[in-house]
Structure 1
Amino acid sequence: MLSRLNDADLAALAALPRSLVILLENILAHEADPAPHVAHFRQWLDHGAAEAEIPFRPSRILMQDTAGVAALADLAALRDHAVAHGHRPETVDAAIPIDLVIDHSVHVDYSGSPDAAARNLALEYARNGERYRFFKWAERAFDRLNIVPPGQGICHQINLERLTSGCVRHSGQWIAETVIGTDSHTTMVNALGVLGWGVGGIEAELAALGAPVPIALPRVVEVRLEGALGDGVTATDAALYITARLREADVVDQIVEFSGPALDHLMLPDRAAIANMCPEYGATAALFPVDGATLAYMAAMGRPVEDYEAYARTTGLWRDAGPQRRYSRRLTLDLDWVEPVMAGPSRPQQIVPLGAVPASLREHFPQEKDALVAIAAITSCTNTANPALMVAAGLIAQKAVARGLSVPSWVKTSLAPGSPRIAAMLKRAGLQESLDALGFHVVGFGCTTCVGNSGDLKPEAMEEERLLAAVLSGNRNFENRIHPAIRANYLASPPLVVAAALAGRMGVNLAQDALGTDRDGAPVFLRDLWPDAGEVAAVLHGLPDAPDGPSVDGAWADLDAPDGLHFPWDPASTMVLRPPFFQSAAQGLTGDLHGARALLVLGDNVTTDHISPIGRIAPSSPAAAWLRAHGQDHPGSYGERRANDRVMLRGTFDNARLVNHLAGGAGNRALGPDGVERSVFDAAQVYGAQDVPLLVFAGARYGTGSARDWAAKGTALLGIRAVIARSFERIHRANLVAMGVLPIVWDQDAAGLVSAQSRIAILGIDRLGADSSDLVIEIDNPGEGIARFPAHADVGSAGQIGLLRDGGLFARFARRFG
C-alpha cells in the first residue's frame, strides 16, 4: 500500500518510526483520499510531532470475556434498536474479525489438590452459564465473531501463540496486521512486531461496526536497550525495571519502539513480558522490530512465517532495515543495571531490590513489623507465557522438595499457566510433581489472582489480626485488587513467587535470609535453590515448544444457547440485561455548565479498580443489596455482572480503599445535597432527582489501570458531566470522551478549594475547538465569594469535541440507526 505514495514521499516517509509506517500504511489501504493525512505525517517527520487526528482501522479485535460481554450486549441492543427503526438486523454486525477469549472468569476456589483445575472449571460454568450461553448465541449471530471457550488460556497468550499472523491480505496486497483489544495488555502482541493496544469496549464497538477509530497522531520514543541481563536476573525483573524507568520518563500517550544490541539477548517471551507491561508505564504501545527471534517463535507455534518475513523486509519493518529513523525523543536503558526485584506494595512501578523488600513493607506500613504471605500465585500472561521463567520456578520447587522444605500452612499457593502448552511443558520436564508437592497445583487456565479472582484465603491466615501480603507474578497490584483482606501486594517473577511461598513472611530477606531448614536442620537459602541459566537451558533443550491443539471441553459443547439474530433478553436476569444506552440519546455538552456540585474529591493515582472495581461484591454494597432484592443471596463478583448495568452502576466508585475528601473516611462514601453521607450511587441518585450536574475532582494519573469501559459508563450514568484532574491515563480519558464526559486538566489541589457546598461552573465549553481548549472553573463557596481558575479540556481533536457535543458514541449510534 505504500506504493500509493509518490516517489518523493515514499523516500522521505521511510524515515518515520516503524509504528507510524504501519499507521500510514493503514490509512493508504482504507482511505479514498489519503492526501490530507499524508500531510500530517510529513509534518510529524519535520517536527517529531504533529497535532492531528487520523483514522485507524484495525485488522481485528481481541476481547476478554468480562469486557467482551458488555461490548457484545451493547451490539445486540443496538441491533434491536436498528430493527425497531426499520433497518435489517445485518446492518449491525461485526465488520472485522473479533476473537473473544473466556479467560477472566475462573476463580481459585480450589487449590492445593490434583483436581483443583477441574473443580474450578466446573464451578466457573455453574456461575457463568447464562453469560456463556449469551456468548454462544453471539458467535452464531455475528458472522465474524470467534469464541475461545473457558480453559484454553489467557487471551494475550492465546493471541501470541495461536491468533497472530503478522500481516494480512487487503485488496490483494499484504499489509501489517493491527489489533485493538478490550484489555489494556493487548500490547503483549507488540513483541511480534504487530501494532496493537488496549481500548475501551466502546471504541472496540466502533471498530466492530466498520467505522475508523479516531486517534491522535502519537509521539514516538525510541528506547535503546543495551547490555544484557546478569546471572540470576529474569525477564520479569527487566520488565519491572523498564516499567519504573519509563514511568519516570513520562511516556504516557506515546508509542515506545525498542531497539539496540540488547535485543540479541532477549528471546521472544522476554520481549512479550516487557511489551505486556506497557500499560503500567503508560505508553499506548511498545513495539519491538521483526527479526529472527520473532520468526523462530512463530514457527515454533506452528504459524507460517514466510509471508511475514518478506513483508517486513520489503516495508522496512525488519530490525535494522531502512534509513535512520526520526523519533520524538530517544532514551537509553542499560540492562546491565537490572537486578532481582519485586514491585509493590500497590503499584507496578514501585520496584524494590530484593533485599530491600522487608524495609519497603515497613515504610508503607510503619505500624507493622512483618506480614504473612497469604497468597503466592504464579499467574498472569506477563510471565506464564515465558518457558524459561516457568522452568526456573519448577527447578526451585524441585530443589526445595529435595531438601525437605515445605510451604507454611497459611500460604495459599496456586499455578495458573497462560496456556495448556506451558502446563504440558512443566509436566514433560518432570517439574510439575515438585510444584504440586509445594501446593502449586494447576488451578486453571486464565487470569485468576491477577484480576482479583483469588478465592478465599486459608483459615490459618485469618486467625490473627496481622498484615497480610500477596506475592504474584502478575502485572497489576493495585489496592483492593487481589483480595479485600490483603493490603500489601508485590509483583515478582515466578521463581521468586515460589521462594516467597517457602518463606511465608514478607519480613524474610530473600536475598540473604534462610527460607527454612532442611531435614538435617541446616538453613537453606535462595542461592542454594536458584538455577543458573545453564540448568534452565538444559531443561528446555529438547522439549517441544509447540502449542497443543485447542480442545473444547464437553461442558462447552453441551451448553445450550439461543438461536436467531436477536437475543431473547430476560428482564429477570441478574447476569445479562439489555443495556440502557440506546433508549434515549444522552445530553451533549453543547454549552457551559452551571450550578454543578462535586460528588467526589479524590487524590492521585485513582485507578480504574477504584472507579469500577473488579473482584468480589461486598455484602454491604449497593450492588449486593440490588442482587438480594432480585433473589441473589450470594452476589459473586463484578466480573460476572459486567452485562448488568444495574449492578455495575451501583459498583461504580465502590472500593474500600477509595478516599473521598468530601466524606468521612475511606470507602464508598459521598455526601448528598442535604449533606447526609450515603453511598456514591445513592448520593448521585438524590442529585439526579434534582437535575444537578455532577463533577469529580482528582489528582494526577486519573484512570490508571485496566481498560474498563464500565469505569466510564458508570461515571456517565451517575450524572457526572466532567472529571477534573491534574492528568489522565490514555484509555480512561478516551472512554470518558466516548461516554460524553468532559475530561479537564486543572493544576490545583481541589481538596483545599472544593467543598460539598461549593457551586461550580465550567465556562468556555461552547468555544471548544481543535485550536482552543481553554476553560475557566468558577467555584462559589458560601460566604467566600467566587474564585476563578484557568483549566483546559483534555481532548485531542475536533473529532473528540464533536463526540462530546453529540453526547458520546452511544448517542451517535442511536441516531445513526434511528
Structure 2
Amino acid sequence: MLSRLNATDRATLAALPRSLVILLENILAHEADPAPYVAHFRQWLDHGAPEAEIPFRPSRILMQDTAGVAALADLAALRDHAAGHGFAPETVDAAIPIDLVIDHSVHVDHSGTPDAAARNLALEYARNGERYRFFKWAERAFDRLTIVPPGQGICHQINLERLTSGCVRHEGRWMAETVIGTDSHTTMVNALGVLGWGVGGIEAELAALGAPVPIALPRVVEVRLEGRLADGVTATDAALFITAHLRRADVVDQIVEFSGPALDHLTLPDRAAIANMCPEYGATAALFPVDEATLAYMAAMGRPVEDYQAYARQTGLWRDAGPPRLYSRRLILDLGVVEPVMAGPSRPQQIVPLAALPASLREHFPQDDDALIAIAAITSCTNTANPALMVAAGLIAQKAVARGLSVPPWVKTSLAPGSPRIAAMLAFAGLQESLDALGFHVVGFGCTTCVGNSGDLKPEAAGKGRLLAAVLSGNRNFENRIHPAIRANYLASPPLVVAAALAGRMGVNLAQDALGTDRNGAPVFLRDLWPDAAEVAAVLQGLPDRVETPSVDRTWACLEAPDGAQFPWDPASTMVLPPPFFARGAQGLTGDLHGARALLVLGDNVTTDHISPIGRIEASSPAAAWLRAHGQGNPGSYGERRANDRVMLRGTFDNARLVNHLADGPGNRALGPDGAETSVFEAAQAFAAQGIPLLVFAGERYGTGSARDWAAKGTALLGIGAVIARSFERIHRANLVAMGVLPLVWDQDAAALVHADSRIAILGIDGLSVDRRDLIIEIDTPGEGVRRYPARADVGSAGQIALLRDGGLFARFARRFG
C-alpha cells in the first residue's frame, strides 16, 4: 500500500515509527483521497504530534463475553430499529471479522479438587445459558462473527496462539493486520508486531458496522531496553518494573515502541507479558518489532509465517530494518537492575521488592501487623501464556512437596491456565501433580480471579476480622476487584504465588524468612525452592513440539438457540434485554449548561472498576432489589447481566471503596436534591424527576482500568452531562464522548470548591471547536457567591466534537437507520 506514495514521500515517511507506518498504510488502503492525511504524517515528522484526527479501519475485532454481550445486544437492538423504519434487518451486519471469546464468566466456586474445572464449567453454563443462547443466535445472524465457546481459554492468549496471522490481504495486496478489542489488554498482540489496542464496546460497534474509528495521531515513545534479566528474575518482574517506570514517565495516550539489545534475551511470551500490561502504564499500544523470535513462536503455534516474514522485511517493520526512525521522545530502561517484586496493595505500578513487603503492608494498613493470604491464584493471560513462568511455578511446587511443605488451610489456591495448551504442558511435564498436592488444581480456562470471579473464601479465612490479602498473577489489583472482603491485593509471578501460598501470610519476608518447615523440622526458604534458569530450560526442552490438548467440551454444541435475523427478546428476562439507547432521543451538546448539580465529587485514581458495575451484586444494592422484584433471589454478578440495562444502570458507581466527598462515608452513596443521602442511582433518579442536569467531579487519572463500556453508558443514563477531572485515561474518555458526555479538564480541587448545594454552569459550549476548547465553569454556592474557573474540553478532534453535538454514537446510529 505504501507504493501509492510518490518517491519523495516514501523516502521521507520511512523515518516514521513502525506504528505510524502501519496507520499510514491503513489510510492508503482505505481512503479514496489520502493526501490530507499524508500531510498530517509529514507534519508529525516536522513538528512532533500535530493535533490531527485520522481514520482507522482495523482488520478485525476481538471481544470478550461480558463486553461482547452488551455490544451484540446493541447491534441486535439496532436491527430492530432499522426494521422498524423500513430497512431489512440484515442491513445491520458485521463488516469485518469479529472473534468473541467466552472467557470472563467462569467463577472459582470449586477449587482444591480434581474435578474443580468440570464443576465450575457446569455452573458457568447453568448461570449463563440464556446469554450463551443469545451468543449462538448472534453467530448465526451475523455473517462474520465467530464465537469461541467457554472453557477454551482467555481471549488475549487465544488471540496470540490461534487467531493472529500478522498480515492480511486487501484488494490483492498484503497489509498489516490490525486489531481493536473490547478489553484493554488487547495490546498483548503487540508482542507479535501486530498493532492493536483496547476500545470501548461502542467504538467496536462503529468499526463492526464498517465505519472508520477516528483516532488522534499519537505521540510515539521509543523505549530502548538494555541489559538482561538476572537469573531468578522473571518476565513478570520485568513487566511490573516497566509498568512502574512508564507510568512515572507519563506515556498516557501515547504509543510505546520497544527496541534495544535486551530483545535478544526476551522470548515472545516474555514480550507478551510486557505488552499485555500496556493499559497499566497508560499507553495506547506497546509495539515490539517483528524478528526471528516472532516467527518461531507463530510457527510453534502452527501459524504460517512465510508471508508475514516477507511483508515485514519489505515494509521496514522488521527489527533493525530501514533508516533511523524519529520518535516523540526516547527512554532507556536497564533490565539488568530488575529484581523479584510484587505490586500492591491496590495498583499495578506499586512495585515492592520482596524484602520490603511487610513494610509495604504496614505503610498502607498501619492498624494491622500482618495479613492472612486468603487467595493465591495463578490466573490471567499476562502470565499463564508464558511456559517458563508456569514451569517455574510447577518446579517450586514439586520441590515444596518433596520437602513435605503444605499450604495453610485458610489459603484458597487456584490455577486457571490461559489455554488448554498450557495445562497439557504442565501435565506432560509431570508438574501438575505437585501443583495439585498444594491445592493448585485447574479450576477452569478463563480469567477467573483476575476479573473478580474468585468465588467464596475458605471458612478458615472468612469472617475472622483479620486483614485479608490476595496474591495473584494477574494484571489488575484495584480496590474491591478481587473480593469484597480482601483489602490488600498483590500482583506476582506464578512461582511467587506458590511461594506466598506456602507462607500463608503477607508479613513473611519472602527474601529472608522461612516459608515453613520440612518433615524434619528444618526451615525451608524460598531460595531452597526457586528453580534456576537451567532447570526451567531443561523442562521446556523435554516437551514435544506439540502437546495434545484436552478435548473440547460438547455442551456448547448441544445448546439450543433461536434462528432468524432479529432476536426474539424475552421481556421477562433478567439477563438479556433490548437496550434503550436507540429510543432515548439524545439531544446532543447544543448549548451552555445551567443549573447543574454535582452528583459525585471524587478524588484521584478513580478506576473503571469504581464506575462500572463489576463483581458480585451485593444484596443491599439497588440492582439486587430490582432482581428480587423480578423473581431473582440470588443476584449473582454484574458480569452475568451486562446485557440488562436495568441492572447495570443501578450498579453504576456501586463500589464499596468509592469515596464521594459529598457523602458521609465510602460506598454507593450520593445526596438527592433534598440533601438526603441515598444510593447513586436513587439520587440521580430524583434529580432527573426535577429536570436537573448532573455533573461528576474527579481528580487525576479518572477512568484508569479496563475498557468498560458500561462505565460510560451508565454515566450517560444516570443523566450526567459532563465529567470534570484533572486528567482522564484514554479509553474511558473516548467512551464518554461516544455516549455524548462532555469530558472537561481543570486544575482545581473539587472537594474544596463544590458542595451539595452548589449550582453549576458550564459556559462557552456554543463556541466549542478544535481551535476553541477553553470553557468556563461557574460555581454558585449559597453564602460564598459566584466563582468562575477556566476549564478545557478534553476532546482532540473535530470528529469528537461533532459526535458530542450529535448526542453520541447511538444517536448517530439511530439517525442512519431512522
Q: Same fold (TM over 0.5)?
A: yes
Structure 1 residues 777 and 546, CA, compared in 2 at 3 Å: closer, same or farther?
Answer: farther
Q: After the TM superposition, which of the residue ranges 539-548 and 564-573 deviates more from structure 2?
A: 539-548
Instruction: Summarize the alignment of residues 67-78 of structure 1 with structure 2, pairs less than 5 Å apart.
Output: 67-78=67-78
Amino acid at match of 2:584: S
1:363 matched to which residue of 2? Answer: 363
Return the alpha-carbon distance in structure 2 between the equivalents of residues 296 and 321 of structure 1: 19
Give the Cα–Cα distance (whole angstroms) in 1 for the partners of residues 442 and 549 of structure 2: 19
8 Å contact kept, 2:425–2:547: no
Aligned partner of 2:223 in structure 1 is 223
Evaluate the alpha carbon distance shift between residue 100 and residue 551 of structure 1 in structure 2; reply closer, same or farther with a 3 A threshold: farther
Give yes or no for contact 1:671–1:678 (8 Å, CA) kept in 2: yes
Q: Matched residues in 2 for 1:533 and 1:551: separation?
A: 32
- 2:380 aligned residue: 380
The answer for the alignment partner of 1:695 in structure 2 is 695
Aligned residue identity for 1:515: L
Which residue of structure 2 lines up, in the alignment, with residue 774 of structure 1? 774
Query: Are 2:424 and 2:547, in contact at CA under 8 Å, matched by a contact in 1?
Result: no
Contact 1:420–1:548, Cα closer than 8 Å, also in 2: no
Partner of 2:657: 657
Match in the other structure for 1:332: 332
Give the structure 2 partner of residue 415 of structure 1: 415
**Counterpart code for 1:653:** F
Larger displacement relative to structure 2 (715-724 or 761-770): 761-770
Q: Is the 8 A contact 1:376 1:497 kept in 2?
A: yes
CA apart distance, 1:554: 1.6
CA displacement at 1:549 relative to structure 2:
6.3
CA offset digits 1:732-780 (Å, max 9, x no partner): 0000000000000011000000000000000011111111110000000
SS at match of 1:776: strand
Deviation at 1:25, TM superposition (A): 0.1
Could you say what secondary structure the match of 1:566 adopts?
A: coil
Q: Distance in 2 between matches of 1:806 and 1:475?
A: 36
Q: Is residue 161–residue 547 contact of structure 1 (8 Å, CA) maintained in 2?
A: no
| Residue 54 of structure 2 corresponds to residue 54 of structure 1 | yes
CA contact under 8 A between 2:282 and 2:729: conserved in structure 1? yes
Shift of 1:542: 3.0
8 Å contact kept, 1:585–1:814: no
**Residue 633 in 1 paired to residue 633 in 2?**
yes
Partner of 1:164: 164
Q: Which amino acid aligns with 1:634?
A: N
TM-superposed deviation, 1:813: 0.3
How far apart are the structure 2 equivalents of 1:545 and 1:816? Answer: 52
Counterpart-to-counterpart distance in 2, 1:392 and 1:180: 32
The 3-state SS of whatever aligns with 2:587 is coil
Corresponding position: 1:319 with 2:319: yes
Cα distance, 1:773–1:539 mapped onto 2, change above 3 Å: same
Distance 1:719 1:474 in 2: 34
Change (3 A) 1:415 1:460: same
Measure how far apart 1:129 and its partner are.
Answer: 0.1
- For residues 544 and 647 of structure 1, the distance between their equivalents in structure 2, rounded to whole angstroms, comes to 49
Specify the SS of the correspondent of 2:367.
coil
Letter in 1 for 2:196: G
Match of residue 468 from structure 1:
468
AA partner of residue 97 (structure 2): P
SS of 1:576's equivalent in the other structure is coil
Q: What is the CA-CA distance between 1:90 and the residue it aligns to?
A: 1.7
Q: CA deviation at 1:584?
A: 3.0
Contact 1:87 1:817 survives alignment (8 Å) = yes
Bigger shift: residues 546-555 or 622-631: 546-555
In the other structure, the counterpart of 1:711 is: 711
CA distance in 2, matches of 1:550, 1:58: 33
Show the counterpart of 2:393.
Answer: 393
TM-score (norm 2): 1.00
Q: Residues 802, 545 of structure 1: CA spacing in aligned structure 2 closer, same or farther, 3 A cutoff?
A: farther
Residue 89 (structure 1) shift:
1.5
- For residues 63 and 222 of structure 2, what CA distance do their matches in structure 1 show? 29
Q: Distance in 1 between matches of 2:740 and 2:369?
A: 47
Aligned residue identity for 1:791: A
Deviation at 1:464, TM superposition (A): 1.8
The CA deviation at 1:585 is 2.2
3-state DSSP of counterpart to 2:349? coil
Q: Distance in 2 between matches of 1:643 and 1:549?
A: 33
| Change beyond 3 A, Cα 1:515–1:298 | same
The answer for the alignment partner of 2:512 in structure 1 is 512
String of CA shifts for 1:144-182, please: whole Å, max 9, x gaps: 000000000000000000000000000000000000000
Cα offset, 1:449, TM superposition: 0.1
Rounded to whole Å, the distance in 2 between the matches of 1:39 and 1:392 is 51
SS in 2 for 1:459: coil
1:64 maps to 64
How far apart are the structure 1 equivalents of 2:672 and 2:802?
32
TM-aligned CA deviation for residue 655 of structure 1: 0.2
Percent of paired sites with the same residue: 89
Contact 2:424-2:550 within 8 A present in 1 as well = no
Rounded to whole Å, the distance in 2 between the matches of 1:808 and 1:791 is: 22
The yes-or-no answer on 1:437 pairing with 2:437 is yes
Count residues with an aligned counterpart: 818
Query: What is the alpha-carbon distance in structure 2 between the residues aligned to residue 567 and residue 317 of structure 1?
Result: 44
- Pairwise CA distance, 1:428: 0.3
The yes-or-no answer on 1:527 pairing with 2:527 is yes
Deviation per residue, 1:512-559 (Å, 9 max, x gap): 000000000000000000000000000000313547568542210110
Q: Which runs of 4+ in 1 moved over 2 A?
A: 544-552
Identify if the C-alpha distance between structure 1 residues 234 and 77 changes in structure 2 by more than 3 Å, giving closer, same or farther. Answer: same
Please name the residue that 1:278 is paired with. Answer: 278
What is the rounded CA distance, in whole Å, between the counterparts of 1:185 and 1:590 in structure 2?
35
What is aligned with 1:254?
254
**Aligned-residue offset at 1:463:** 4.5
- Which residues in structure 2 correspond to 1:597-616 (within 5 Å)? 597-616=597-616
Shift of 1:262: 0.1
Kindly state the Cα deviation for residue 673 of structure 1 after the two structures are TM-superposed: 0.6
What CA distance in whole angstroms lies between the structure 1 residues aligned with 2:706 and 2:282?
11
Separation (CA, whole Å) in 1 of partners of 2:201 and 2:693: 25
Report the CA distance between 1:328 and its aligned residue.
0.3
Three-state SS of the structure 2 residue aligned to 1:129 is helix
Counterpart for residue 815 of structure 1 = 815
Relative to structure 1, the CA distance from residue 551 to residue 53 in structure 2 (aligned partners, 3 Å threshold; closer, same or farther) is: farther
DSSP-derived class of the 1:743 partner: strand
Equivalent residues in 2 for 1:344-363, closer than 5 Å: 344-363=344-363
Q: Per-residue deviation at 1:48?
A: 2.1
CA distance in 1, matches of 2:551, 2:764: 57
Q: How far apart are 1:49 and its partner, in Å?
A: 1.1
**Equivalent-residue separation in structure 1 for 2:30 and 2:629 (angstroms):** 50
Deviations 1:295-315 (A, max 9, x none): 000000000000000000000
Q: State the alpha-carbon separation in 2 of the partners of residues 544 and 117 from structure 1.
A: 25
RMSD: 0.7
Give the whole-Å Cα distance in 2 for the aligned partners of 1:665 and 1:474: 30
Partner Cα separation in structure 2 for residue 629 and residue 765 of structure 1: 42
2:181 aligned residue: 181
Q: Is 1:95 matched up with 2:98?
A: no
Counterpart Cα distance in 2 of 1:362 and 1:536: 35
| In 2, Cα distance between equivalents of 1:514 and 1:675 | 55
Match of 2:491 in 1: 491
Paired position in structure 2 for 1:405: 405
SS in 2 for 1:660: coil
> Any unmatched runs of 5+ in structure 2?
none
| Distance in 1, Cα, partners of 2:90 & 2:59 | 20
Q: Which amino acid aligns with 1:86?
A: G
Could you report, residue by residue, the CA deviation over 1:168-215 in whole angstroms, capped at 9, with x for unpaired residues? 000000000000000000000000000000000000000000000000
